[in-house]
Structure 1
Amino acid sequence: MIKHTFLSLAAALVCLTAGCSGAKTKSPEQQLAYQITNDTLMHKVDSMAREVVKGGFNAGDGYGEVWIRDYNTFIELAMEVMPDSTIQDNLITFFHFQGKTGDIVDGFIDINKADLNNKGGYKYRLSDTEPRYAAHKNTVETDHEASLVQAVWRYVNKSGNKSFLQKQINGQTVEKRLEMALEFLMNERLDKTYGLIWGTTTADWGDVQPEHPWGVELDENSHLAIDIYDNAFFIIALNHFIELTDRPEAKERWAKVRDDIKVNTRKYLWDEAKQKFIPHIYLKDSPFPSDFDENSIYYHGGTAMAIEAGLLSKEEIAAANATMVANVKASGAPTIGLTLYPPYPEGFFQNKGMYPYGYQNGGDWTWFGGRMIQQLILNGFVEEAYQEINPMINRVIKNNGFYEWYGMGNIPSGSGNFKGSAGVLAKAIHLLHDWAEKNNR
């Protein structure tokens, strides 16, 4: 009923603005394409996103670091407004700090801004070949390696500069270093019982564990777990590496790894009865009370990444989107960027920012909601995508900027000028415009 009403309103708008008398009746797709093409707010937000990304490569106003999990989501937009040499330089910097076993750091910062003597903060990693920066790794998360593979793929795919893969960094090519990053995950983060990679317990895609007031460092108190986000992100990275490499033996080897991870993800993480991914498989035990039903929680971000990884059928994507929309309505959240629903109860995370509907525990993040919009478009749910992107567009205009996340009541929170939000929203807008161009005939 909602869908048909929306199209009827769209048709009426087209008739009022373009005139219907004596003209050939436009199809529903043409009507929607006309709306998208003439949506001035989306054009404005796209321009605003470009201006934000021109401001540099740090994640946002509240951050000094260039983080790979953020850079991966705005690199394509940055390529349109920044010099190619600068785009490459940021990617290469991550390889200068790559560990001996292939691990990739979370981010890097100007060494003069790094508090190297702060024992309670980040454990910085230095590089003899890149002395301008200090780097660090958030060890509770398992998406840095996959993020860098994806970012390089985005750069090569958009620029066509495949020779970048053969650039030498400390005696190894970029391609080899990408493979080393994948090897790290297989050697040090693969649980052989389930055939899936693990991290520590976090809220969906988050990087804060519950056992510590800060929560970014894997330690003796951490509870190791397998989740959908890490494994879906790994699958996406494997897809990208297979596309990047020209070596038949590498394609064959990593395709086998990818296929195994996909099978095991569906086997162990997908709850067929509830049509959702379970939050965690614990390798030993859970940090939460034994009477807590964690599987009542629906992970929005990890589900969006699972769609990108090709883990859900079209029918399951439709059901996932319907669940997200229902969760937004039930919670009172602003958009499908809602991290998860329902949130973890008060006190389940020692980090004070992880209160119910705060930060990564039910905060609303365009950074991931925008990626769900992208997947809706790419999988044929364009009308739904257009409806669901509108509140994200409107709050950018209202607040004159891109915020890291939004609290209940659409309250802007976290860092301002958050480039990840700008990047994913701009890409969603571009996908909508591409679709409209093909269908507005």
Structure 2
Amino acid sequence: MRHSMLCMLALLLTACGPNPAEKELARQIRSDRSLQQVDSMARAVIRQGLTAGSGYSQVWIRDLNTFIEVACEEMEPTVLREAILLFFALQQPNGEMIDGYVLKPDFTWEDDSPYYSDAAPDHVAFKNTVETDQESSLIQTVGKYVRATGDRSILDEVVAGRSVRQRMDEMVDYLLRERYDEIHGLLFGAMTADWGDVQPYDDFGCDMNEKSFPAIDIYDNAMFLLALDWLAELADDDARREHWAAMHDRVAEQARRHLWDAGRRKFIPHIYLGTRPPMPEGFDENQIHFHGGTAVAIEAGLLTPAEIEEVNARMVENVRLSGMPSIGLTLYPTYPEGMFAGGMSKPYVYQNGGDWTWFGGRMIQQLIAHGMVAEAYDEVRPMIDRVIANGGFFEWYGMGGVPSGSGHFKGSAGVLARAIGMFDAWVDERLDR
């Protein structure tokens, strides 16, 4: 009944057409040539290949997942299909999925535990095991590729004796066996800064080890929910579709129950499964607002429209208080100086409060998807302006908008191009009908 009423309301709104304020906003967005300039720049960067960006010789799945849709529009599908299948060729015997891969001659960095597979003899794989988003990222990538290209045959492609469908099932089995906490009904990884893949108190910081603090966070579980949605869409029979949908509903319920702080109207940073990491006296970790994980949680359908408005307003306020450039701000307030090693020990550096379009752009997408287009347009402006000013898509930005990391980071290019496409679709609906 509720669905029928919503459909009737949508039809009535469509029949009435856009209101004058919407039309004026649509005209403003359409006349903004900087959006098309950045879209063209983004597509040119993505056409250069599937590595994460300048300075990276590797193909990372958590990055590819965020620009695969644009890549499907700009590259030959066979190139993308082969790149995706190579991930499955490097899947480990226990079902575990890697972070990424590189040709053996380009494997030039120190790594105590590289991954190999007889099914991919020319490549070396690697994984930052503190994180729990690799399996979910690959499943999402497969789903986006199939939807964009119509190539469902990839699901039945056999890689080293097992189909892609079987291998995706095995990835979920791995997560439920190795990274699932029965008490909370949620996935866990190591304690990191929001969606980041670097843990504190560890010079290297990317591998689960004796220095790790196992913890549940919203990002890993929101990514898993999105993967379960895709598995349901890709299923080839009703029983499997219902299986994934039921698992999705259970995880979503547990995520809301255990991670949403109804009093503070935000997601709590972590649920610790063992010893809580040492924090400076008087520092309350639950004051931290995780921007990136929250954006992915919205995409996963975990927040109501009213809650989306609240967390967006909080993000904007956090940007004002921090002095950082945009809502790509990873988190606020930052973790205390010295918790993380290297430059990240400082506030507003890298994942400890750096500003990442890679995630800020996802929040822009969700604002558009939930009808908050005026807010989205206002909040995307710093991201658009800095691409033009700096002549590229930098990995992250520091205090004062200083660009850092890869200068042509494809994750940033992909999320902005997709957001611009969503703006265009919204404008077309209001001006061209």
TM category (shorter chain) comes to: over 0.9
Give deviations 1:33-89, integer Å, cap 9, x for gaps: 111112100000000001111111111112111000000001111112211111011
**What residue is the counterpart of 2:285 in the other structure?**
294
**What residue is the counterpart of 1:303 in the other structure?**
294
SS state at 1:352 partner: helix
**What residue is the counterpart of 2:12 in the other structure?**
none
Give deviations 1:252-304, integer Å, cap 9, x for gaps: 22222111111111111110000000000000122232732000100000000
**Does 2:61 align with 1:68?**
yes
CA contact (8 A) 1:215 1:351 kept: no
**What residue is the counterpart of 1:386 in the other structure?**
377
**What residue is the counterpart of 1:90 in the other structure?**
83
- Per mean C-alpha deviation after superposition, the further-off stretch among 350-359 and 213-222 is 350-359
Distance 1:278 1:326 in 2: 18
CA contact (8 A) 2:64 2:141 kept: yes
**What residue is the counterpart of 1:193 in the other structure?**
183
CA contact (8 A) 2:53 2:409 kept: yes
Q: TM-score, normalised by structure 1?
A: 0.92
1:211: how far off?
Answer: 2.4
CA contact (8 A) 1:213 1:352 kept: no
| Structure-2 change in CA distance of 1:51 and 1:287 (3 Å) | same
**What residue is the counterpart of 2:239 in the other structure?**
249
**Does 2:104 align with 1:114?**
no
Which sections of structure 1, spanning at least 5 residues, go unmatched? Answer: 1-24
Distance 1:379 1:186 in 2: 31
Distance 1:91 1:388 in 2: 33
Which sections of structure 2, spanning at least 5 residues, go unmatched? Answer: 1-17
**Amino acid in the other structure paired with 1:437:** D
CA contact (8 A) 2:395 2:406 kept: yes
1:105: how far off?
Answer: 0.1
**What residue is the counterpart of 1:333 in the other structure?**
324
SS state at 1:353 partner: helix
Aligned match of 1:37 in 10, 19, 30? Answer: 30
Distance 1:90 1:351 in 2: 33
**What residue is the counterpart of 2:154 in the other structure?**
164
CA contact (8 A) 1:214 1:351 kept: no
**Amino acid in the other structure paired with 1:347:** G
1:121: how far off?
Answer: 2.3
Aligned residues with identical type, % of pairs? 51
**What residue is the counterpart of 1:272 in the other structure?**
262
Distance 1:35 1:159 in 2: 32
Distance 2:116 2:26 in 1: 51
1:122: how far off?
Answer: 5.0
CA contact (8 A) 2:51 2:60 kept: yes
| Structure-2 change in CA distance of 1:35 and 1:276 (3 Å) | same
Alignment: residue pair count:
414
**Does 2:364 align with 1:361?**
no
CA contact (8 A) 1:212 1:351 kept: no
Q: CA RMSD in A?
A: 1.3
Aligned match of 1:321 in 312, 318, 321? Answer: 312
**Amino acid in the other structure paired with 1:338:** L
Distance 1:283 1:348 in 2: 19
- Per mean C-alpha deviation after superposition, the further-off stretch among 155-164 and 321-330 is 155-164
**What residue is the counterpart of 1:411 in the other structure?**
402
Distance 1:304 1:358 in 2: 20
SS state at 1:409 partner: helix
CA contact (8 A) 2:91 2:117 kept: no
Distance 1:324 1:141 in 2: 24
| Structure-2 change in CA distance of 1:289 and 1:35 (3 Å) | same
Distance 2:280 2:31 in 1: 53
Aligned match of 2:226 in 221, 230, 236? Answer: 236
1:354: how far off?
Answer: 3.9
Aligned match of 1:153 in 143, 147, 153? Answer: 143
